Amino acid sequence: MIRELRERRRYLDRVIAALEQLARLTFSQTTLAKPEPGRRGRKFMTNEERRAVSERMKKYWSTRRPSRNSDKKPKVGPSSAS
């Protein structure tokens, strides 16, 4: 009976080893597989898209920039008194 159990254990050890090897191969193939082909890198804008962005930014900055006709005080730096 002990001999039969040992034979059964050897068989199971071989089966487990084969399954582990199969799992390693399957894992390495799935992790090292090349990504699916597709668009990569930077998306370039068409002229129409560039024009739309330009208009949006002009509008954005026109509300944040002080008007050019307003009286601007000259910027005064730190005084250089010695």
pLDDT digits (tens, 9 = 90+) for 34-61: 666 676 778 888 999 999 999 999 999 9
Q: 24 Cβ partners below 8 Å, 6+ apart?
A: none
The reported pLDDT for the residue numbered 72 is 57
Residue 19: CB atoms within 10 Å: 10
Q: Provide the number of structural domains found in the chain.
A: 1
Range of the structural domain that residue 19 is part of: 1-30
Whether the full predicted model's pTM is greater than 0.85, yes or no, is no
Amino acid at 77: G
Asked whether residue 57 is domain-assigned, the answer is no
The reported pLDDT for the residue numbered 66 is 77
If DSSP codes are grouped into helix, strand and coil, which group holds residue 39? coil
pLDDT at 21 over 80: yes
Asked whether residue 37 is domain-assigned, the answer is no
Asked whether residue 55 is domain-assigned, the answer is no
How is residue 11 annotated by DSSP? H
- Per-residue pLDDT band for 64 (boundaries 50, 70, 90) equals confident
Structural contact between residues 66 and 72, judged by C-beta atoms closer than 8 angstroms? yes
Asked whether residue 11 is domain-assigned, the answer is yes
Asked whether residue 15 is domain-assigned, the answer is yes
Asked whether residue 12 is domain-assigned, the answer is yes
Asked whether residue 41 is domain-assigned, the answer is no
Smallest CA-to-CA distance from 13 within 25, 1, 27, 21 is with 21
Asked whether residue 21 is domain-assigned, the answer is yes
Residue with tokens 């000259």: 74
